[in-house]
Amino acid sequence: MSRVLNQIYYLQGGGNGLGHSKSQKIVFPLNIFKNKFKFTKIKMLQTKLCNLNLKNPTILASGILGVTKESVGRIGKSGAGAVTLKSLCHEERMGSKNPTMFGYENVFLNAVGLPGQGIDSAMKEFVRLDNLGVPVIGSIYGYRIEQFGDVAKKMASLRPAMIEVDISCPHMDYGKPYYADPELTAKVTQAVKQNAGKIPVSIKLSPNVYDIKEIAHAAEKAGADAITAINTATGMAIDVDARKPILANKTGGISGPALKPIAVRCVYEIYETVKIPIIGTGGITYGKDAVEMIMAGATAVGIGTGIYYRGIDVFKKVCDEMERWMKKNKVKNLDEIRGCAHG
Question: Which residues neighbour 76 within 8 Å (Cβ) at sequence distance 6 or greater?
Answer: 83, 132, 133, 134
The verdict on whether 319 is a catalytic residue reads: no
Give the active site residue among 169, 266, 319, 340: 169
**94-120 burial code (b ≥16 CB/10 A, e <16):** eebeebbebeeeebbbbbbbbebbebe
- CB–CB of 132/69 below 8 Å? yes
The torsion defined by the Cα of 176, 180, 185 and 186, in degrees rounded to 10, comes to: -120
Count other C-beta atoms under 10 Å from residue 65's C-beta: 20
Write down the H helix ranges in 87-200. 119-126, 145-156, 182-196
Count other C-beta atoms under 10 Å from residue 210's C-beta: 7
- CB–CB of 101/109 below 8 Å? yes
Q: Which residues are annotated as catalytic? A: 169
